[in-house]
A and B are shown apart, each in its own frame.
Chain A
């Protein structure tokens, strides 16, 4: 295939006009020793027919979760994506556009982001949401860095119940940026959540040096448990630290927003809002904060203004925070973000609306509780702890997890996520209890009672 519309004849004429006989002469500035001098060693070109067949072949070598009855979660979930979302995304004026630096011809992108920012503020209960980050993990890191700027401190406390890959990402950035992360916050192993009041390793104790910029917590946490965000906010604020809360936004139609619980910065993975799972990327990094901190916020922000004819219009604003203006003093190096995924989230939230989102949240929670009861009733599982949860929960399988996973896969089920697969990821040292046999189950509104019953019956009779 080729996508060069200039014909061979035109190319020759263009070369003649420049006084050269071949395109190669245009590269005279490249020193001979740096010239490749041979063709690139790549597989041969393909016609579109061949390419389509090749890509189909690769795709068929996968067994997508969407073709299974999937209980896999851990940040990426098999929610239903309304048809209308992809029809919005397929408008080329959206997806073939660059960053909206020329607002006169970018009002579509700008207004869509402004509306997305509003929806995220509504969901999270915060004042300001940015135009997106890469994913939940990098949004968490940016929140930690922002808290360091706001408080002029350089240490953060990260709940050990945070998603292990987010912890690992935070550790990577902290090591490079010479910042310290403390993962030693106490965990109540009987509830699968943090114990912020613990005398030896509660928030008060960990913050007593006066150098903690933020406490970072995920709720529901990686294991599905609901953390006591209100108390954590109170204790963090007493120590002069900010509280950063990582959320699952799809649940915020039914759960109290972190803004109402005292959060200072809210982050989250927005794949669940109308984005394909796509092996975990591109996702959507949600980022929202309080108005007084807006000038320390990373990423792009769209604001409303007027044009010279006094018509309402939208524009990227407060850009003096950003790398293209502020360079080494910018709040972040982020340039490309996940605008199209934010567009999907906006179209998704418009499609489901307030009642639809609440219905989805209720369905996820009810079905997860139903499945957990059914699985415990089989006797093949035991509960590692008892505590409130929403649509994701961990159980300990009494048998061999990988054998169970294989057997259930043959029957068309993705039987959750084995927690032991993250054993190399935890900077905090590991989950609050032994990960042996521990399986994380997530249930979305797509699962039917018939599927839940059949799964419980089949896994129970292995």
Chain B
């Protein structure tokens, strides 16, 4: 086993670093080859003059057993949701149901070509329409595009729709307002869409400062981007006043749906006055994160904005069949084909499995578990906004740092020795030494208790043996890395010795 549940410095992990796949196998090894050619060979150089490859690419030369062992060993060095609790705030690392994996691999889904005749993909379109309808209902925003490949892609898609709507109204705008607790994708998206970012501070409650917001809202503002619940895990209690103020100047209110897992069936962004929402199906709707992706970032908008959505959109026709439709004022496409269909199959399966009651239970339990953990850790770490939270909360190692010189990074690394993935660290930026915990609804009470106990134990170690914590981790496949060296002298590909 690579991750010890026993604390304290112990033996080095058995899953130690390994040679690259280029150094495995023998030059004559091969795994899969194309069958012998059954048509006349075509000489590449005569068919494509000057384009026959002169130096072959140096790809691995391995047998199948070496591939399975290599990647098996790499997998052993990885930590996933199946390895243990993964309370990574704002990332919603919930369990990925296995039937969803099987569903996405059905030949009737995985084997579809995007340009097949529509009559041969009716089941796929029905699934997509079903997912659009379900997401629209959860969002309270009825018009949905499944095209965006990820959350950031969804953000961009929505801002493009806002821009198109303002342009069509002869009222172009230049700025987008973002609170200081926002994810980095928000300002990066604003720049990609040709707007300028205006940041508003949070107040002492950890919520949008209404007075500061009103000061920056003028008719140059195209939109407000807001995560609700916000990245402190707090619900924006003034949300109705916020969206009203945004609409009063002719701007749009955008909800970053990263934290949708907290509110399903309780409150809907559309009912809070938002005009658009992106949903991270790889967070709220249980599709796996894949070590970084692929995800899915569907965007839900109001009826008024529906005409700007990217096309084509799967739609249900009056005769019960399904077709593709591009809205009359569509911004265009934001990618090729129809979306990350394989991911959408998993999200659809999740919605259908749970239904309305199941989704409500998800949010209620996610919020309950986060609050349980918050109370459990009260007095152990600083909790700057110690009141009822939503599905996540932010604590701080500020006291540990001041009293013992132990930082949040040390706490996070030490948690690895206890068999847990660390929380999100140093975010949001407004909390010093931040640790953002999101247990999700799929952790058992036992696992919440053991996470709490591990953090308590680490806080005690910080007092009794701070060097122990500062030197962590000890039991992981590798220990702390020299990240500065990686950036100073970038080696971003393998090369044979001597090159």
- A92: B residues at CB distance < 8 A: 80-83, 96
Picked from A40, A93, A280, A343, the residue with its CB within 8 Å of the CB of B83 is: A93
How many cross-chain pairs have Cβ atoms below 8 Å apart between A and B?
719
Report B197-248 residues with CB < 8 Å from chain A CB.
197, 234-235, 237, 239-240
Q: Are A36 and B111 in contact (CB under 8 A)?
A: no
- Cβ of A70 < 8 Å from any Cβ of B? yes
Q: A27-B367, A353-B61, A449-B38 are in contact. Are A305 and B289 (CB under 8 A)?
A: no
- Cβ of A434 < 8 Å from any Cβ of B? no
- Cβ of B86 < 8 Å from any Cβ of A? yes
Spot the interface stretch: B116-124, B394-402, B457-465.
Answer: B116-124
- B95: A residues at CB distance < 8 A: 3
Assuming A30-B235, A54-B352, A95-B289, what are 6 further A-B pairs, CB within 8 angstroms? A1-B97, A51-B99, A58-B124, A104-B416, A138-B335, A304-B492
- A97: B residues at CB distance < 8 A: 78-81, 289-291
Chain A proximity of B267: nearest CB distance (Å): 5
Q: How far is the CA of A349 from the CA of B360 in the complex (A)?
A: 44
Chain A proximity of B315: nearest CB distance (Å): 16
Most chain B beta-carbon contacts within 10 A, residue among A102, A171, A318, A322: A102
Report B226-275 residues with CB < 8 Å from chain A CB.
234-235, 237, 239-240, 263-268, 271-273
Q: Are A359 and B108 in contact (CB under 8 A)?
A: no
- A44: B residues at CB distance < 8 A: 355-356
- Cβ of B487 < 8 Å from any Cβ of A? yes
- Cβ of A339 < 8 Å from any Cβ of B? yes
Picked from B37, B265, B338, the residue with its CB within 8 Å of the CB of A281 is: B338
5 residue pairs bridging A and B, Cβ less than 8 Å apart: A51-B99, A93-B76, A108-B75, A311-B16, A449-B39
Residue of A nearest to B28 (CB): A355
Q: Are A88 and B71 in contact (CB under 8 A)?
A: yes
Q: Are B117 and A405 in contact (CB under 8 A)?
A: yes
Chain B proximity of A280: nearest CB distance (Å): 3
- Cβ of B5 < 8 Å from any Cβ of A? no
Q: Are B478 and A311 in contact (CB under 8 A)?
A: yes
Q: A61-B122, A91-B72 are in contact. Are A353 and B486 (CB under 8 A)?
A: no
Q: Name the 7 nearest CB pairs between A and B, nearest first.
A: A280-B337, A59-B108, A61-B123, A64-B111, A280-B114, A66-B111, A45-B355
**Range of interface residues on chain A?**
35 or more
- B168: A residues at CB distance < 8 A: none
- Cβ of B153 < 8 Å from any Cβ of A? yes
- Cβ of A340 < 8 Å from any Cβ of B? yes
Q: Are B267 and A30 in contact (CB under 8 A)?
A: yes
Q: How far is the CA of A132 from the CA of B484 in the complex (A)?
A: 23
- Cβ of A65 < 8 Å from any Cβ of B? yes
Residue of A nearest to B133 (CB): A42
Q: Are B75 and A15 in contact (CB under 8 A)?
A: no
Report A112-167 residues with CB < 8 Å from chain B CB.
112, 114-115, 117-119, 121-123, 127-129, 131-132, 134-138, 145, 163, 165-166
Q: How far is the CA of A135 from the CA of B106 in the complex (A)?
A: 22
Q: Are B59 and A335 in contact (CB under 8 A)?
A: no
Q: Are B332 and A171 in contact (CB under 8 A)?
A: yes
Q: Are B372 and A17 in contact (CB under 8 A)?
A: yes
Q: Are B60 and A353 in contact (CB under 8 A)?
A: yes
Q: Are B86 and A98 in contact (CB under 8 A)?
A: yes
Q: A97-B78, A336-B152 are in contact. Are A257 and B31 (CB under 8 A)?
A: no
Per-position binary interface string of chain A over residues 164-208, scored 1 when its CB falls under 8 Å from any chain B CB and 0 otherwise? 011011011101111000000000000000000000000000000
Report B282-329 residues with CB < 8 Å from chain A CB.
282, 286, 288-295, 297, 310, 326
Q: Are A134 and B150 in contact (CB under 8 A)?
A: yes
Spot the interface stretch: A210-218, A234-242, A326-334, A375-383.
Answer: A326-334
Q: A75-B336, A118-B494 are in contact. Are A172 and B123 (CB under 8 A)?
A: no
Q: Are A104 and B413 in contact (CB under 8 A)?
A: yes
Chain A proximity of B379: nearest CB distance (Å): 15
Q: Are B480 and A307 in contact (CB under 8 A)?
A: yes
Q: Are A117 and B422 in contact (CB under 8 A)?
A: no
Per-position binary interface string of chain B over residues 471-499, scored 1 when its CB falls under 8 Å from any chain A CB and 0 otherwise? 00100111111110111001111100000
- Cβ of B435 < 8 Å from any Cβ of A? no
Per-position binary interface string of chain A over residues 1-42, scored 1 when its CB falls under 8 Å from any chain B CB and 0 otherwise? 111111100110011011000011011111101111001111
- Cβ of A399 < 8 Å from any Cβ of B? no
Q: How far is the CA of A70 from the CA of B493 in the complex (A)?
A: 36
Chain A proximity of B36: nearest CB distance (Å): 9
- Cβ of B407 < 8 Å from any Cβ of A? no
Chain A proximity of B431: nearest CB distance (Å): 16
Q: A40-B356, A94-B78 are in contact. Are A226 and B368 (CB under 8 A)?
A: no
- Cβ of A100 < 8 Å from any Cβ of B? yes
- B445: A residues at CB distance < 8 A: 5-7, 10, 14
Q: A91-B72, A283-B336 are in contact. Are A18 and B478 (CB under 8 A)?
A: no
Q: A253-B57, A448-B38 are in contact. Are A4 and B362 (CB under 8 A)?
A: yes
Picked from B33, B185, B336, the residue with its CB within 8 Å of the CB of A333 is: B185
Chain A proximity of B297: nearest CB distance (Å): 8
Most chain A beta-carbon contacts within 10 A, residue among B192, B335, B421: B335
Q: Are B292 and A100 in contact (CB under 8 A)?
A: yes
Chain B proximity of A170: nearest CB distance (Å): 9
Chain A proximity of B214: nearest CB distance (Å): 18
Residue of A nearest to B444 (CB): A5
Q: Are B487 and A95 in contact (CB under 8 A)?
A: no
Q: How far is the CA of A129 from the CA of B492 in the complex (A)?
A: 8
Q: Are A315 and B486 in contact (CB under 8 A)?
A: yes
- B32: A residues at CB distance < 8 A: 80, 82, 84, 351-352, 356
Q: How far is the CA of A365 from the CA of B492 in the complex (A)?
A: 32
Q: Are A255 and B52 in contact (CB under 8 A)?
A: yes
Q: A84-B64, A256-B52, A339-B290 are in contact. Are A29 and B99 (CB under 8 A)?
A: no
Q: Are A328 and B191 in contact (CB under 8 A)?
A: yes
- A269: B residues at CB distance < 8 A: 336
- B368: A residues at CB distance < 8 A: 6, 11, 14-15, 18, 23, 26
Chain B proximity of A352: nearest CB distance (Å): 5
Q: How far is the CA of A307 from the CA of B472 in the complex (A)?
A: 12
Q: Are A176 and B163 in contact (CB under 8 A)?
A: yes
Chain A proximity of B497: nearest CB distance (Å): 14
Q: Are A129 and B86 in contact (CB under 8 A)?
A: no
Q: Are B188 and A45 in contact (CB under 8 A)?
A: no
Residue of A nearest to B262 (CB): A27
Q: How far is the CA of A327 from the CA of B73 in the complex (A)?
A: 35
Q: Are A309 and B490 in contact (CB under 8 A)?
A: no
- Cβ of B353 < 8 Å from any Cβ of A? yes
Chain A proximity of B147: nearest CB distance (Å): 9
Picked from B40, B101, B476, B490, the residue with its CB within 8 Å of the CB of A366 is: B40
- A109: B residues at CB distance < 8 A: 74, 78, 291-292
Residue of A nearest to B60 (CB): A350
Q: How far is the CA of A315 from the CA of B272 in the complex (A)?
A: 41
Residue of A nearest to B80 (CB): A96
Q: Are A64 and B51 in contact (CB under 8 A)?
A: no
Q: Are B483 and A115 in contact (CB under 8 A)?
A: no
- Cβ of B331 < 8 Å from any Cβ of A? yes
Q: How far is the CA of A57 from the CA of B51 in the complex (A)?
A: 47
Q: Are B352 and A43 in contact (CB under 8 A)?
A: yes
Q: How far is the CA of A127 from the CA of B271 in the complex (A)?
A: 50
Q: Are B353 and A51 in contact (CB under 8 A)?
A: yes
Q: How far is the CA of A413 from the CA of B35 in the complex (A)?
A: 22
- A254: B residues at CB distance < 8 A: 44, 52-53
- Cβ of A265 < 8 Å from any Cβ of B? no
Report A256-276 residues with CB < 8 Å from chain B CB.
256-257, 260, 269, 276
Q: Are B369 and A306 in contact (CB under 8 A)?
A: no
- Cβ of A52 < 8 Å from any Cβ of B? yes
Chain B proximity of A257: nearest CB distance (Å): 7
Q: Are A34 and B267 in contact (CB under 8 A)?
A: yes
Q: Are B51 and A255 in contact (CB under 8 A)?
A: yes
- B369: A residues at CB distance < 8 A: 6, 14
- B114: A residues at CB distance < 8 A: 74, 76, 277, 279-281
Report B117-174 residues with CB < 8 Å from chain A CB.
117, 120-124, 126-127, 130, 134, 137-138, 140, 149-153, 155-156, 159-160, 163
